[in-house]
Amino acid sequence: MFENRPDRDEVVLVGRSNVGKSTLMRELTGHKVKTGKKPGVTRQPNHFDWASEKFMFTDLPGFGFMSGVSEERREQIKTDVVRYVEENADRILVGVVVVDGKAAVDIIDRHSAEGEVPHDVEMFHFLQELEIPTVVAVNKMDKVDDRDERLNDLCDRLGLYPPWQQWRETVAPISAKRGSVEPLLEALRTHFHDQKRDDLLKFVTS
């Protein structure tokens, strides 16, 4: 399904449906990306690339529950996303797991209770196992009152010791809709620099 990938290094955005990946993609690239009120609008990887630098941002389809989408189809999307990441791991400079700051902890706890590993936690550890530098972009933070507490709880669920402030390369509180993404840009700058890709820093300046 995910064929015809351009031959580039990339930053991938992964996460559940409706957490704001496409809005974030638009914020990162300055390019209008199709977003929708309905979950599951993104069914194929959206690549936005710069040929001269052999680099691109990729918005991967959202996984998890989607109203009006069969369980079989949802599982297929998740399998496709996992396979894409696995097959291209050596070209992925950074994996960005996008979560909804207001809902993420509750969703994680609800699924943990059912004896399964929640998608967000699973994806975070999966990227790390593949040795892909990983940033959790905690989106919609403009809707969160107890900011520090919420971010500490999220760190705890991801197996990172709070306080969250010591994980600035890994945890980036943002509000994509409001254009407030500097913590993520900062984390990306750090990871690009660590991988000796300072030529890409111009794509993540605010």
Q: Which of 80-84, 110-114, 189-193 has the lowest average pLDDT?
A: 110-114
Per-range mean pLDDT, top range of 24-28, 60-64, 71-75: 24-28
Q: Is the pLDDT reported for residue 82 higher than 60?
A: yes
Q: Is the pLDDT reported for residue 199 higher than 90?
A: yes
- pLDDT tens, 93-130? 999 999 999 999 999 999 887 777 788 999 999 999 99
What 3-state class would DSSP assign to 25? helix
Q: SS3 letters for 72-139?
A: HHHHHHHHHHHHHHHHCHHHEEEEEEEEECCCHHHHHHHHHHCCCCCHHHHHHHHHHHCCCCEEEEEE
Binning pLDDT at 50, 70 and 90, where does residue 84 land? very high
Sheet containing 9-15: give its strands across. Answer: 46-50, 55-59, 9-15, 92-100, 134-139, 171-173
- pLDDT tens, 60-71? 998 877 778 788
**E strand or H helix at 13:** strand 9-15
Looking at residue 34, its pLDDT comes to 59
| CA 101 to centroid of chain Cα atoms | 12
Q: What is the pTM for the complete model shown?
A: 0.93
CATH pick for 9-204 out of 3.30.930.10, 3.20.20.70, 3.40.50.1000, 3.40.50.300: 3.40.50.300
Amino acid at 126: F
